Amino acid sequence: MTHPQSEHWSDYIDGELPLAEARELETHLEVCGECRRLLNELRGVVARAGALEDRPPRADLWPRVSAQIGVSRRRFVFSMPELLAAGIALMLISGGGVAFLLRDEIGAPVAWIRPEPEPVVRTVATGGGYDAAIGQLQRELAKGRGSLDSSTTRVIEEKLALIDQAILDAERAVAADPGSEYLRAHLTRSRLTKLDLLRRATELTRTIS
Amino acid sequence: MYLLTLPLLAALTGTDTTVTVGANGKLELRNHEGPVTVTVWNRQAVRVRAQHDDESRVSVEVSGGMVRISGRGRYGPEPIAYELTVPADMALEIYSQEGEVRVTGSKAAIEIQSIEGAIIVEGGRGSVRVNSVEGALQVRGASGRLSLATVDGDISGSDLEGDLEVTAVDGDVLLQGIRAANVEASTVDGDIIMSGEIRGDGRYRLSSHDGDVTLTVPSLDATVSISTFEGEFTSDFPVTVNTAGRKMTFTLGKGSARVELESFDGEVALRKGPGR
């Protein structure tokens, strides 16, 4: 099966792909679940980035984040692990910081890079960038947790444990059935859920203090 | 009994002030503890009624179209109960640390963040973002870009239009009468139940890790994918399922809309019924 060229995704999402090519791509989408999933995720990330408000970014954060998750400022990469990285970037930088920092990329035509299917599970499973991002948020949360009352802290810790269990379930399922597109996507989303909760909790400590 | 109650009542006082505002203004409120109730009226003015102890002060700042409200006790934050009356077209941004927040009748953008306490919204247009750590969310009659999120609590939405994103961690998601073009609803531990109309150009994804997922629609013209790890799928619609791994796909009608229903460890059901 021949997948669409990387630049076609960008044009298609922007509505700039010539009609005939768009129809061809849509025909491919009908039979290729991987590409459908990719397209949905790309749209989700782009929509999320576009929906962010223009709050002042924490300018000091991006270099560390980008170094940890391995995301170049000049390209968006959207394989599953890179999608996770994009999600990490969106979540780590509060408010519209990412929109501000990546405004050139968001505003300009973007070269969507085709995923490399093989490293998906390995990268997600070992999760160097993910672990670093989690660690960074946990450290920030630990610093600011004094501003949260004990009840809120308890709720957040309980729900993080709940998500950790879900991640563990998903990891075991992926180990049992590594070829499952759904299970891999579910694992990635479960991890993004944890990142999202940590980000929200961290933002909360900033808001309160 | 009376000896204890009377001094407490005597210590309570209040603020009642009304300020004039222009059209399409914005109100910001920060409250540490206490209920917040917002209703609308036809005047281009904001009335602030607040109940608090006699050593607390409520500040109402008006600058251009912006009204900022905050309160403070003598030695720090104290409980304050707010009742606000605002123009329907006034955007609202409310931050509450503890206490129920209730907004009724708004026709403007709404952003509410609460740490502990239920949030109940009727109305809202444009961008409606409701976010709680610990507390149930109820949103009715909103339209636009809608984002509802809570960590611990159920989310209930009804009569909603636009693009809808619903995120719970530990709680059920109940969506009724949905007429949204795009819906993304997820929970880690809870059921997701949605009824409404599926638009031909719409995209809908309902996903739970540990809970049942049920979609009820009167009719369906969609390409549907069902994914589950340990659950089962049932359908009121006659479908011919293509199975690939953990995913089942089928097409109803022309397959215009995209519907994805996922439950890692729960049942997935597609029901035929009124989309209310």
Alpha carbon of B132: minimum distance to chain A alpha carbons (Å): 10
Residues 6 or more apart whose Cβ sits within 8 Å of residue B62: B19, B20, B21
Q: How far is B94 from chain A (nearest CA, A)?
A: 12
Report chain B residues whose CB lies below 8 A from the CB of A187: none
- Chain A residues in contact with B115 by the CB 8 A cut-off are 148, 152, 204, 208
Instruction: Show residues of chain A in contact with B209, CB under 8 Å.
Output: 166, 169-170, 186, 190
Is B215:B261 a contact under the CB 8 Å cutoff? yes
Residues of A in contact with B114 (CB under 8 A): none
Answer yes or no: are the C-beta atoms of B178 and B156 closer than 8 Å. Answer: no
Per-residue pLDDT of chain B (276 residues; tens, 9 = 90+): 334 333 444 356 789 999 999 888 999 999 999 999 999 999 999 999 999 988 899 999 999 889 999 998 888 888 999 999 999 999 999 999 999 999 999 999 999 999 999 999 999 999 999 999 999 999 999 999 999 999 999 999 999 999 999 999 999 999 999 999 999 999 999 999 999 999 998 999 999 999 999 999 999 999 999 999 988 999 999 998 888 778 899 999 999 999 999 999 999 999 999 877
Q: What is the DSSP pairing of strand B161-170 with strand B192-196?
A: unpaired
Confidence at residue A24, expressed as pLDDT on a 0 to 100 scale: 78
Q: What is the share, in percent, of chain A residues with pLDDT greater than 70? A: 49
| Stretch (H or E) spanning B18 | strand B12-20
The helix (run of H) or strand (run of E) holding residue B199 is none
CA distance B19 to A54: 29
Length of chain A: 209
Residues of B in contact with A43 (CB under 8 A): 203
What is the structure's pLDDT at B189?
97
B181 at A interface, C-beta within 8 A:
no
B33 at A interface, C-beta within 8 A: no
| φ, ψ dihedrals at B43, nearest 5° | -95, 150
- The amino acid sitting at B135 is G
Interchain proximity B186–A170, CB inside 8 Å: no
* Predicted local distance difference test score (pLDDT) of residue A25: 79
Maximum distance among all alpha carbons in chain A?
59
Going by their DSSP bridges, the two strands B268-272 and B242-244 should be labelled as: unpaired
Residues on chain A touching B145 (C-beta within 8 angstroms): 51
Q: Is A34 on the interface with B (CB under 8 A)?
A: no
Angle between helices A33-51 and A181-208 (to 10 degrees): 10
| Any A CB within 8 A of B256 CB | no
Domain ranges across chain B: 154-276
**Is the CB of B247 less than 8 angstroms away from the CB of A51?**
no
User: Which pair of structure tokens corresponds to residue B236?
Assistant: 């009121």
Nearest to B101 by CA among B117, B85, B79: B117
d(CA B20, CA B25) in angstroms, rounded, equals 11
Interface test with B, best of A31, A42, A145, A152 (most B CBs within 10 A): A152
Distance of alpha carbon B3 from alpha carbon B143, whole angstroms:
51
Determine, for residues B169 and A159 on separate chains, whether the beta-carbon distance falls below 8 Å.
Answer: yes
Complex ipTM value: 0.87
Residues from chain B contacting residue A197 (CB–CB below 8 Å): 151, 169
Of A43, A183, A197, the CB nearest to B169: A197
Q: Check if the beta carbon of residue B48 is closer than 8 Å to that of residue B60.
A: yes
What pLDDT does residue B247 have? 87
Kindly report the backbone phi and psi dihedral angles of residue B77, in degrees, each rounded to the nearest multiple of 5, phi listed first: -65, 140
Q: Is A19 on the interface with B (CB under 8 A)?
A: no
DSSP chain A: -PPPPHHHHHHHHTT-S-HHHHHHHHHHHHH-HHHHHHHHHHHHHHHHHHH---PPP-TTHHHHHHHHHT--TT--B-SHHHHHHHHHHHHHS-TTHHHHHTHHHHHS---PBPP-STHHHHHHHH-HHHHHHHHHHHHHHHHHGGGS-HHHHHHHHHHHHHHHHHHHHHHHHHHH-TT-HHHHHHHHHHHHHHHHHHHHHHHHHHHH-
How high is the pLDDT of residue A208? 75
Amino acid at the residue B191:
D
CA distance A79 to A63: 22
CA distance A159 to chain B (A): 7
Q: A169, B265 in Cβ contact below 8 A?
A: yes
Taking the C-alpha atoms of residue B3 and residue A187, their distance in angstroms, rounded to an integer, is 61
Contact criterion met (CB < 8 Å) for A177 and B246? yes
